[in-house]
Amino acid sequence: MEIDKIVRVNSPWNGEAERITLGMGCFWSPEARFGAMPGVVRTRVGYAGGTTDKPIYREMGDHTECVQLEYDSDTVAFEELVAIFWERHQPVNINGYKGKQYQSLLFYENESQRSAIDRVLLKRERSGLGRPETDIVPCSAFYAAEERHQKYYLKRYPQAIEALSTRYPTQPQLNDSTIAARLNGLAKGYTSMERIKNDIETWQISDAERSGILGLISSIRW
């Protein structure tokens, strides 16, 4: 499978988004945690780091569960995401558990990202945190996980999914939406409705679109 170079997409800020892929144990919680962050445009979970062709959850081969983020670099820095990555999991506790399925992996897509990772590592070492047992590797093929794994916590609320379907009628549209990323974080308890609404106020979208999104999420019963 040919590896795509860094992905750039339209974002709620009318800018461009960059990409980072992380392995930090079960992918459900990291998707929710990062999806709650202002500046993160899209999230998805999947399998990466191995050689097995077309992995699936029950036949993952030598791949690892990962979360892939697209983010607005003017709002959240790559180095901030990397720092949070190491703050929010313990590599020594997951490496070797369930074989390759749970591994601490950090992918870089260019030399700029590699240099940024080195700066974060140096800062950690100078503060006495030591070097984490994380494999830092060049980007590789990423295989999206099955539908049931995408936005896992949000999908525990059928009424929320039903309401969102009026704006995002297909599963890919819903899974790729920034608002689904935020609400998945809300469902897990990583953010609040007030924070989400304040975030939406900063998006570079029309007043009508903003009003529609705010009205939609306000109608959901949690």
pLDDT tens digit string along 184-202?
999 999 999 999 999 999 9
DSSP letter string, 141-169: -EEEPPGGGTTTTGGG-HHHHHHHTTT--
Q: Give the three-state DSSP class for 122.
A: helix
Domain spanning 17-147, CATH class: alpha beta
Residue in the structure block whose two tokens are 């994380």: 134
pLDDT in the model for residue 43: 97
Judge whether residue 4 has pLDDT over 50. no
pLDDT in the model for residue 208: 94
Asked if 38 and 115 count as a contact pair (C-beta separation under 8 A), the reply is no
Considering the candidates 26, 144, 193, 216, report the single residue annotated as catalytic.
26
- CA-nearest of 169, 46, 211 to 161 is 169
Distance CA 164, CA 157 (A): 11
Distance CA 92, CA 148 (A): 28
Active site residue 26: yes
Write down the pTM of the prediction: 0.92
Which helix (H) or strand (E) segment holds residue 180: the answer is helix 178-188
- CA-nearest of 66, 82, 64 to 18 is 82
Query: Which of 13-22, 52-61, 155-164 has the least mean pLDDT?
Result: 13-22
The domain ranges of the chain are: 17-147, 149-218
pLDDT in the model for residue 11: 56
Judge whether residue 6 has pLDDT over 90. no
Query: Using alpha carbons only, how large is the chain's radius of gyration in Å?
Result: 17
Distance CA 188, CA 110 (A): 32
